[in-house]
Amino acid sequence: MELTPHVQEKLHAGHKLTAVVEAGLVQDFIKNTRVVALIEVASTHVKQGGEQALLIFQTARVPVHSAIDLSIEQVIAVDTNLKCEIDTSSLDVDTDVLVNITSGKVRLLFEMPFSQRTNAFVSEILRAAEVVSKRRGPPPEFAWLQPYQKSSTSSQDPASPGSAPTTADTLDGLGGDAVSLGDVSVDICQNLSSTYPDPANCNTENSSVHTENERSPDLGVNRHSIATGLSPTPIAARESHIRYQMAMREDAYTDIQEFTVFVGTWNVNGRSPTVGLAEWLAVDAEPPDVYAIGFQELDLNTEAFLFNNSPKEQEWLNAVLNGIHPKTKYRKVRLVRLVGMMLIVLVQEKHLAYVRNCAIDTVGTGIMNKMGNKGAVSVRLDLHNTSICFVNAHLAAHQEELERRNEDHDCIFQRTCFHLNITSNSPPKTIKDHEHIYFLGDMNYRINPCDMNIREVASSGEFKLLLQHEQLTQQKNAKRIFHKFKEGNILFKPTFKYDVDSDEWDSSEKARQPAWCDRILWYGDSITQLEYRSHPQLQISDHKPVSAIFMAGIKVVDTRRYRRIYEEVMKKLDKLENEFLPQVTIDTTEIILEPVKFYQSQTKYLTIANTGQVPVQFEFIKKLNDVTYCKPWLSIRPYSNFITPGEKCDVSLEVLVDKQTAAQLNSGVDQLYDILVLHLEGGKDLFITITGDYERSCFGSSINALVHMNKPFRDVPVAKLIDLESKQPKELSEMPYAVPKELWYLVDHLHSHGLQVKGLFTHPGLQKEIFEIRTCLDEGVEHQVLPGSVHSVAEALLLFIEALPEPVIPYSLYQAALDATPNFSLCKEVINKLPDYHRNVFEYLMAFLKELLNHAEDNTLDANTLAHVFGSVLIRESSAVAGSSDRRNQNQAIERKKQTFVHHFLMND
Amino acid sequence: MSLTYVDRLLYFWFKMSAGPYNYSYIFKYIIIGDMGVGKSCLLHQFTEKKFMADCPHTIGVEFGTRIIEVAGQKIKLQIWDTAGQERFRAVTRSYYRGAAGALMVYDITRRSTYNHLSSWLTDARNLTNPNTVIFLIGNKADLDAQRDVTYDEAKQFAEENGLMFVEASAKTGENVEEAFLETAKKIYQNIQDGSLDLNAAESGVQHKPTQPGRTNLNNDSQTNRDNCSC
Ligand SMILES: Nc1nc2c(ncn2[C@@H]2O[C@H](COP(=O)(O)OP(=O)(O)O)[C@@H](O)[C@H]2O)c(=O)[nH]1
Ligand SMILES: [Mg+2]
């Protein structure tokens, strides 16, 4: 079970194993065992130590015995792109936690046992991710991971340049794909393609989770993997799984609809809205679907600064509401303000119903990294099925504060955190968790000093030259900030810094250089910018307002298709649940016995093969009103067992008709017929019918029936046998024997051949000979000769007496017989009460025994021994009584009484 | 060494038995009726939405499950499909106990299967609780040309005996969903109006998910005899 040494062995020199855990990787509807390891490179190996990565291993067997069992399936660099989330909705399961690991388009869902180890592992990943997010400077390269990627079994990402596929796309400041739900891993798309003709934009080329050849298209389960314990098991947390599946299939039930989004930003320099804003907000012919309007320096008062309390908020909100497009109605989604930063998000009234999960957050990056004079205010929401985030930022001012601005940028991305309402159960979201992100504000990036006259060029309209020296553009190109974000071409004059109420550059003492402080950037695949412009007509501030119009592809759910797919998912889960029910195949459901003879056992075998996908615990169970799971003449071994998938279990069914069961079969009360119920724990039941013919025998027949049989037992028709065994037989013989002829043959044989034999009735006979004697008695004795040794005949005699369904001393007189033992005459009274033929048998046997004792010198028998042997077969208690426990305690005393009873007759008569 | 494996199994059973499934009730159903009327096909059609033309004879009691929704409540159906052969009758009777719903099936193309309904109904009435919803299904409705039992007479039989009734086809799927769902709705309604007491041991409805199997076919606890004779 200890994985560490085996994983360590797979690592290259200088790489250290931080934590490792065994987990179930959820793939489609099943999960497969993986080993997940967090590794770290020593600081000497890379410029900046502490780079970490996740290695995901496939395992050839469970548990892992050596490093050979492990093969690298996937390598995931721990960069700012990596996210590790615990699915909180599954926390009611106290055995497993669902851990979501996403990195760009790779999205993996693991089930990990709820254990210390998992806890430690997840904490390590979170710690590693935090280290990366705090890190400064150029993004890590992860070149040290190359050797692992070579050996990785998964397909290399062809879209990425050679070196480090999983990291080539790494974002530094910002996580990349914000895990758009449409970007699903390839195997799921492939599985889907059969069900859905158009799995839409499944981004197959960019996935590195699995290749087709690794997995069969359906849920075929490899026998070997089952045998080795690698069998996939059904997903645990159904609810979270449905959510996961629905997210994966999003493309199949959503349509992209174009929405226009107006984004505006204006540093208003503490002024009040003395002019209408229509020239900024409503210059386009058609009204946008969404407005996101950001302000900075809304209020420069210390009151606002210290207590975040400002009358300007309402003033500007009113101005906005008055200035927006008049053609249609808007509703405010959220307004968020921190000191001078304010962001207002509005949507057309008709869209309001499709806006969900709104949340806001503010981050102050001012003094002590806390005060709200700088920082960002943000709003997030889901519009239909697309997650959107608006960030209105105000970064550090001044030409030389470039690095400070960069840090503010980092800080905003790191610290902004939206808490959705508690009931939705989802983890908090960061900015990069959104599919569409609009980042607007007074970024305060300036134009570096250069050999141009910035003011002149800025006024001329030759912005291209100037933009080469523009800090934000430079920093972005260097991937220091806004990685993966886009910005439209800037075709407008710098928006800073003007003399108030004019279009003149700053004429104050400070004579600030013009700069494009006010910017709008965006992130997201399906967004196109239509306009990017400034609005110099608005002159009340030293900044000009900027706006951008976007065409954004929003995923709109088609409820009909959603419902259908939801049902598909449910159906598939149901189907799986049925498939994961225990399944066995049995080689026969009907067992036909060869003719069964008295006291001769016969064994049949039943093979139970586990043909299902899960281990089976089987058990033969009782039927209604039955006391036992099978008839008394049958014994099943094992009657309960455990079979792993692909394995078999042979069950033996032994049939033995003995003295206890023969009578019932003879009399037709019972038959050799039984239906066994083979129950699979947690699953179905199978019925197994067992049938056979019992060859009736004089053994097990009653004295009263036998004396009326003048023919060999075998020649008596079954109907007559049953009739004779009934309470009131119709067909009695006219000339009944005094004692059953079979008894006579047995005794006569012993009389003729055994009187002088030493050890008679104490020496055991041979099983085989006893069968022969039985057959001979049943079929008719020729020449009064029985086969076998006298010992076998002696044992057959005892067996015959013991098999009598009604003992020689009938059950009804059992207690009387025991009570009579102190006194011989009482015993004789009991004998006088016996039914005629029983009394005959008793007296006949006593006479024979006395004769035996007459030859005691030869056969060495004594009265005590004989009385004991015969007492126990002649006097028997009914099995119903025999069962009770206090009886059993008195067993010895009873045996002694039985002996005494017989002893009287041997000695006193 | 094999600890993890055993753990996995225990885990698996835990999942199967008491996993955090999102349903509020479990209803137990039984499907009864003569052999060959299409009981197993109906179950299969309901759980897998497929017609299984070469369905093997049921020799025993098959088990299937599906989660459905009634009035916004998720309900897990545990369905026992019994063997219809006469010789198993005595054994299959054990499975009636605790059924919340009984689907009684005949084959519209075979009159004998219809004639036997009264005997099936007697069993169902005697062996289930009085609130058990009994739904009569005339199966193989797709074989209208070979019809041997008219809709009207079956309808009348159903009405006389207070049964819900449809003609369905496990082959085309027609009315299959309906039969199972209508039964569930009726049971749910019985719970809502209080006529079905959930606390009664044999209501056939469970509030909390438990393991599907392990029906104790007997009243008293099992005596695990390892050895029956001698
Ligand atoms: N045409 C038709 N055949 C059916 C239908 N349902 C079942 N069958 C067939 O009837 C036979 C018996 O079905 P089965 O489900 O095994 O019956 P069971 O013994 O009641 O379980 C099978 O050959 C099925 O293919 C149906 O709705 N239409
Ligand atoms: Mg069947």
Confidence of residue A571 (pLDDT cuts 50, 70, 90): confident
**HEC profile of B191-216:** HHCCCCCCCCCCCCEECCCCCCCCCC
Q: What is the largest CA-CA distance in chain A?
A: 150
**A823 touches A856 (CB < 8 A):** no
Q: Which residue has the higher pLDDT, A613 or B187?
A: B187
Calculate the dihedral angle through the C-alpha atoms of A170, A171, A174, A179, rounding to the nearest 10 degrees.
-40
Omega prior to A638 cis, within 30 of 0: yes
Ligand nearest, relative to CA of residue B50: 1
**pLDDT value of residue B33:** 96
pLDDT given at position A346:
97
> What residue numbers bound the domain in which B78 lies?
20-209
Interchain proximity A95–B83, CB inside 8 Å: no
| Cβ-nearest to B230 among A96, A658, A675 | A658
Which pair of tokens denotes residue A131?
């280290």
Question: Does A730 score more than 60 pLDDT?
Answer: yes
Closest CA to A457 of A439, A469, A441: A469
Give span(s): CATH 1.10.555.10, chain A. 737-907
Nearest protein CA to atom 11 of ligand 1, as residue: B36
Average pLDDT of the residues in A473-494:
94
Q: What is the structure's pLDDT at A214?
A: 30
Architecture of domain A4-248: Roll (2.30)
Taking alpha carbons only, the member of A495, A439, A440 closest to residue A470 is A495
CATH 2.60.40.10 positions along chain A are: 584-695
Question: Which token pair is A359?
Answer: 């949340």
**Which of A36, A248, A74 lies closest to A155 in space, CA to CA?**
A74
Report pLDDT for B202.
Answer: 67
Question: Residues 583..622 of A with a Cβ closer than 8 Å to B: which?
Answer: 589, 614-615, 621-622
Q: For A374, list phi and psi in degrees, rounded to 5.
A: -130, 160
Q: Which strand ranges, in their side-by-side order, compose the sheet holding A254-267?
A: A330-338, A341-348, A290-296, A254-267, A546-557, A527-534
pLDDT at A889 over 80: no
Q: Is residue B144 part of a domain?
A: yes
* Sequence letter at residue B94: S
Per-chain mean pLDDT for chain B: 80
What is the pLDDT, as a whole number, of residue B49?
Answer: 86
Note whether A571 contacts B: Cβ–Cβ < 8 A: yes
Query: Which chain A residues contact residue B223 at CB under 8 A?
Result: 622, 627-628
Q: Any idea what DSSP says for residue A446?
A: -
Res B3: pLDDT: 27
Are residues A93 and B19, on separate chains, in Cβ contact within 8 Å? yes
**Best mean pLDDT range from A193-197, A214-218, A731-735, B75-79:** B75-79
**Integer Cα distance of A151 and A71 in angstroms:** 8
Decide if B2 is inside a domain: no
Tell me which of A173 and A429 has the higher pLDDT. Answer: A429
Q: What is the pLDDT of residue A445?
A: 96
* Structure-block tokens of residue A835: 């039914």
Residue A155: is its pLDDT beyond 80? no
Mean predicted confidence (pLDDT) in B44-54: 89
Q: Per DSSP, what are the bridge partners of residue B135?
A: B103, B164
Query: Which mutation among B55, B108, B149, B175 tests ligand 1's pocket best, with the greatest number of atoms within 8 A of CB?
Result: B55
| Partner B contacted by A630 (CB < 8 A) | yes
DSSP string, A830-848: HHHHS-HHHHHHHHHHHHH
Q: Testing the interface with A: which of B35, B68, B225 to mutate, by most A Cβ within 10 A?
A: B225
Write out pLDDT tens, residues B75-105.
Answer: 889 999 999 888 898 889 889 988 999 999 9
A243: closest CA among A536, A662, A565? A565
Question: Residue B152: pLDDT above 80?
Answer: yes
Interchain pair A682, B3: CB under 8 A: no
Backbone angles phi, psi at A599, to 5 degrees: 65, 15
Ligand 1 atom nearest the C-alpha of B172 is 27
Task: Report if residue B81 sits inside a domain.
Answer: yes
The H or E element that residue A899 is part of is helix A891-908
Model pLDDT for residues A74-86, shown as the tens digit of each residue: 899 888 888 887 7
| Stronger pLDDT, A62 or B222, i.e. the higher one | A62
The ipTM assigned to this model is 0.79
Higher pLDDT, A138 or A212: A138
Better pLDDT: B21 or A621: A621
CATH 3.40.430.10 fits A584-695, yes or no: no
**What per-residue confidence (pLDDT) applies to A47?**
61
pLDDT over 50 at A606, yes or no: yes
Q: Is the dihedral of CA A452, A458, A461, A466 positive or negative?
A: positive
Contact B217 A589 (CB under 8 A): no
pLDDT at position A235, please?
41
More confident residue, A396 or A884: A396
**B31: distance to nearest CA of chain A, Å?**
14
Residue B37: CB within 6 Å of ligand 1? yes
Tell if the CB–CB gap between A615 and B226 is shorter than 8 Å.
no
**pLDDT of A650:** 94
For residue B14, count other CB atoms closer than 10 A to its CB: 16
The mean pLDDT value for A736-743 works out to: 94
Q: Which of A581, A624, A634 sits opposite B94 (nearest CB)?
A: A624
**Which tens digit of pLDDT belongs to each residue from A217-228?**
222 233 233 233
Could you list the beta-strand ranges (E) of A366-485. 375-383, 386-394, 417-418, 429-430, 436-442
Predicted local distance difference test score (pLDDT) of residue B4:
36
Q: Which residue has the tokens 């009399």?
A: A667
Give a yes or no: residue B159 inside a domain: yes
How many Cβ contacts (< 8 angstroms) between chains A and B?
Answer: 162
Average pLDDT of span A331-355: 95
pLDDT of residue A125: 85
Report the pLDDT averaged over residues A120-136. 79
Q: List CB contacts (< 8 A) between A677 and chain B.
A: 60, 91, 94, 217
State the total domains in chain B.
1
Which regions of chain B does DSSP assign to beta strands (E)?
Answer: 25-32, 60-70, 73-82, 101-107, 133-139, 164-167, 205-206
What residues does CATH 3.60.10.10 cover in chain A?
256-559
What pLDDT was estimated at residue A107?
81
Helix (H, G, I), strand (E, B) or coil at B167: strand
Condensed to tens digits (0 to 9), the pLDDT of residues A771-810 reads 999 999 999 888 778 999 999 999 999 999 999 989 999 9
Q: What CATH number should be reported for the domain holding residue B61?
A: 3.40.50.300
Q: Mean pLDDT for chain A?
A: 83
Choice between A259 and A157, residue whose per-residue pLDDT is larger = A259
Question: Is residue B189 situated within a structural domain?
Answer: yes
| A619 has pLDDT over 60 | yes
| Axis-axis angle for helices A824-833, A836-854 (nearest 10) | 140
In the predicted model, is pLDDT for residue A673 greater than 90?
Answer: yes
Q: Give chain A positions within 8 Å (CB) of B67.
A: 570, 573-574
**Cα of A236 to nearest chain B Cα, Å:** 6
Location of each CATH 2.30.29.110 domain in chain A: 4-248
Instruction: Give the per-residue pLDDT at A170.
Output: 32
| CATH H-level, domain A737-907: superfamily | Rho GTPase activation protein (1.10.555.10)
- Residue A226 confidence (pLDDT): 29
Contact call for residues A50 and A40 (beta carbons, < 8 A): yes
A495 has pLDDT over 70: yes
- Cβ–Cβ under 8 Å, residues A264 and A325: no
Q: What is the pLDDT of residues A234-291, one digit of tens each?
A: 444 556 667 777 877 888 999 999 999 999 999 999 999 999 999 999 999 999 999 9
Give the best residue of B14, B15, B49 to mutate against chain A (max A CB count within 10 A): B15
CATH annotation of A256-559? 3.60.10.10
User: Tens digits of per-residue pLDDT, A594-604?
Assistant: 999 998 889 99
State the distance from the centre of ligand 1 to the C-alpha of B171, rounded, in angstroms: 8
Q: Which of A610-624, A834-848, B134-148 has the lowest mean pLDDT?
A: A610-624
| pLDDT bucket at B217, cuts 50 / 70 / 90 | very low
Residue B143 lies in a domain: yes
